Homo-oligomer: A and B are copies of this chain.
Amino acid sequence: MDETFVVIGGDAAGMSAASKAKRDEPDLDVVVFEKGRWVSYGACGLPYYIKGEIQTLDELVSVPPEEFREERDIDLRTGHEVIGIDPDARTVTARSDDGETIQPYDHLLIATGAAAVDPSIDGIDLDGVYTLGSMTDGKELREFVARSRESSPSDQPDRGPACQYLENCSGPVGVVGGGYIGIEMAEALVANDFEVHLFQRDDRVLNGFSRATSEAVAEHLEEQSVSVYLNAEVESIGGSDAVEAVLTADERVPVEMVLLGTGVRPRTDLAENAGIELGPTGAIATDEYRETNVPNVYAAGDCAEAEHVVTGEPAYVPLALTANRHGRAIGQTVAGTPSEAGGIAGTAAVKAFEVEAARTGVVDHDEARDAGFDPVSKTIDAKSRAGYYPEGGTVRVTLTADRESGRVLGGSLVSEYGEGAVHRSHALVGAVTEAITVDELSNYDLAYAPPFNTTWDPILTAAKVLGGKL
Contact = CB atoms under 8 A, between A and B. Distances in A.
Interface string A326-368: 0001000000000011111111111100001010100000000
Contact of A447 (B42, B348, B388, B449): B348
A443 B325 contact: yes
Interface in A379-428: 386-390, 417-418, 420, 422-427
A388 B451 contact: no
A59 B429 contact: no
B387 A62 contact: yes
A320 B456 CA distance: 9
Contacts of A387: 59, 62
B418 A459 contact: no
B389 A48 contact: yes
A146 interface: no
Given A423-B420, A429-B427, A447-B358, A53 B452 contact: no
A433 interface: yes
A426 B446 contact: yes
Given A420-B420, A449-B422, A456-B321, A48 B390 contact: yes
A319 interface: yes
Interface string A303-320: 000000100000000011
A446 B347 contact: yes
Nearest to A448: B321
B448 A320 contact: yes
Band of interface residues on A? 35 or more
A167 interface: no
A430 interface: yes
A344 B445 contact: yes
A218 B341 CA distance: 39
Contact of A44 (B319, B386, B425, B440): B386
A447 B434 contact: no
A443 B351 contact: no
A434 B430 contact: yes
A319 B445 CA distance: 10
A390 B53 contact: yes
